[in-house]
Structure formats: C-alpha cells, structure tokens
Amino acid sequence: MSHFFQFEADFVESLNCIPMQVRLNLDTCGVKLKLYHWNQFTPEERQVLVSMACSTPEESKIYREFLQTLVTEKTGSPANKLEIDPHPPWLDPTTIPAEVLRKASEFEVTISPTQWSNLSPLQRFALIKLSRPSHENKNFHPALQEFKLT
C-alpha cells in the first residue's frame, strides 16, 4: 500500500521526486537510486515502484531485482548497492536517534519516547532521513507538524 505525506504534496502528483515510501523501500532492498535514475522512469514505472511491496526478505529481493533491471534498461548500468542495516533505527520504537532529537531541538520541539513509539515505521524513517545534514531538510518541521509532534 502506498502512502504519501502532506509535506510531499508539491511533487506527489507528478512523482518528479522520490517519495519517502520509495526511499524506505530503497534502504530496505539495498539500492542507492539517484534522482537521475528516477527521472528516467515513466510515470507508470514510478507508480509501480511506489506501489510494490518491499517489507519481507522475499519482497525486498523482488523489488531490488525489478528496480535494478529497470535502471539498467534505462541507463545501461545498475544503480549502486547500499548496505542493508539489519536493525534499522526506524523499526526501533524505543530509541529516538540523536540526529532526530538534535534537529527537533532546532525548532524547540522535544519528542517524547511515547510519541516516537506511536509513530509508524515510515514516519520514523521520514524524520530520520529529514534530520540528516546531507539531506535537504526543509520538510523536517512540516513533518513534525504533520505527525502532530509540535
């Protein structure tokens, strides 16, 4: 099942950026997809990548193989591989990553352990991704608001 966040609304209809649901799938299946790759896909192919399941090991394998075939067909070579974290932090409802707490504090927001545990894995994933210094994180505060953490 696909899910989009309100903070993604400016590009969801066109899918001209990689939505969080797909980013989660990429981390789950171990593929480093670049925006360049994403932009080579047709709207239909993008929608398939949004809709495909990728939560079990078998689904992850199918997703990775489908995606790498697609990237190779479009660009001539597969996307780089990512190391798959066997214990990703977004699946841990008991530990709030330090970078999320630091980023939230920039907005004078304190996330409680209960609030963190009540978030879905996709919501935790989004906050983790949006809190990283390497990520354009203009959507961190809108995500806090959307997740009712402010």
Q: Among candidates 8, 62, 5, 73, which has minimal Cα distance to 31?
A: 62
What pLDDT is stored for residue 135 in this prediction? 60
- What are the φ/ψ torsions at residue 94 (nearest 5 degrees)? -100, -15
In the prediction, which pLDDT does 137 show?
67
Assigned token pair, 72:
């190779």
Dig out the tokens for 107 from the structure.
């907005």
Mean pLDDT of successive 10-residue stretches along the chain, which has 150 residues: 78 83 96 95 94 95 98 96 95 97 95 97 96 78 94
Rounded Cα–Cα distance for residues 33 and 35 (Å): 7
- Number of other CB atoms surrounding residue 133 within 10 Å: 8
Cα 18 → chain centroid: 8
Per-domain residue ranges for the chain?
A: 6-81, 89-146
pLDDT at 91: 96
